[in-house]
Amino acid sequence: MVLQKDKENLKTLVVGGGSWGTALAILLARNQVPTLLWARDLAQVSAMILTRRNDRYLPQVPFPPSLEPIADLEGALSQTRQVLVTVPSCGFRPILERLAGRLSSHIPLIWATKGLEPGTGRLLHEVAVELLGSGWPMAVMSGPTFAHEVAVGLPTAVTVAATESEIATRFARCLHGDTFRVYTSDDLIGVQLGGAVKNVLAIAAGISDGLGFGANTRAALITRGLTELVRFALAWGGQKETLMGLSGLGDLVLTCTDDQSRNRRLGLALAQGKRLDEALTLIGQAVEGAAAAKVVVARAKQLAVEMPIAEQVYQVLYAGRHPRQAVELLCRREQKPEYAYMGYLLNEKR
């Protein structure tokens, strides 16, 4: 356990005033960690200071006393002992560019963003290394989480992977509590890929359910989607155990089966005949899987990794393929033994 005086010395800056950043800020503050919550919208920050809650995203959850909304990002850096970035993947580089040169080298950078960099397809730790340097202490948090459930204190478990075990352990203890359990890892690649690829697969699950294909189809998509995720992560250097854990299988099941998932809701909307732009407008928040589909499919081809479900999601999103045709094409693929998947898990030859 972290002593109370240790927590008081670990003031944390949460960057991103959306539902996820707010939920994590509430969790930290509830655990007696002094917490600063930064949002780019000055009007939103002013409202949060006045009402002591985030009326835009989590209006039903009041802020604990040790949570302080702020508008001055650069000024907050002088007060903080660790930084937690929660912005969507498209905003990750711009935020780090603001932090670079202002953040002291001993301050750990942690992120809870689930995605790859749009356009380049790079892992977010690669972006961080480019902008901050290879020796910077950094960590990523991921797992089966919906912001509302974390904010109201429902039991949740996640994984934190870090470049240094001390960083993972310290941050895990800040989050760990009566209803929030944290496991640690050294597999930054696997934890990041689990959080990014499951978003693409959740779109497929939403399409399937939106077309009325039922529980059998959903279970098949999740299982074969896990196959694709494992192949992809191993080819990139991730660890198979990670993909069987919270940030892999756990997050995949959650995102594919519950309508709190924006990615699943995108698939449902596409199955109902809505265009991509219409569906994204209807959802009204970042849907990471839409951008991730492009970069995942492109990187899979570079790595010579077969990802037929991700490929069909890409075709529906960007090539005009009808969702029903995409499912039919998946079913018509050449018959093959299932145990080829187990070979990956057992480190046998493909």
Binding site for NADPH: what residues are annotated?
19-20, 40, 57, 114, 147, 262, 288
Catalytic residue among 5, 7, 11, 198: 198
Query: Is position 5 annotated as part of the catalytic site?
Result: no
Binding-site annotation, residues for NAD(+): 16-21, 147, 262
Element (H, E) at 99: helix 92-99
Can you tell me the distance from the alpha carbon of 228 to that of 308, in angstroms, rounded to the nearest whole number? 8
Which residue, 161, 213, 212, is CA-closest to 188? 161
Q: Which of 63, 83, 67 is nearest to 128 (CA)?
A: 83
Cα gap 161→237, rounded to integer Å: 14
Work out the angle at residue 200's Cα, subtended by the Cα atoms of residues 301 and 236, and round it to the nearest 5 degrees. 45
Q: How far apart are CA 227 and CA 229, in angstroms?
A: 5
Instruction: Tell me the DSSP string of 293-348.
Output: HHHHHHHHHHHT---HHHHHHHHHHHS---HHHHHHHHHTSPP--THHHHHHHTT-
Kindly report the backbone phi and psi dihedral angles of residue 337, in degrees, each rounded to the nearest multiple of 5, phi listed first: -70, 140
Instruction: List residues with catalytic annotation.
Output: 198
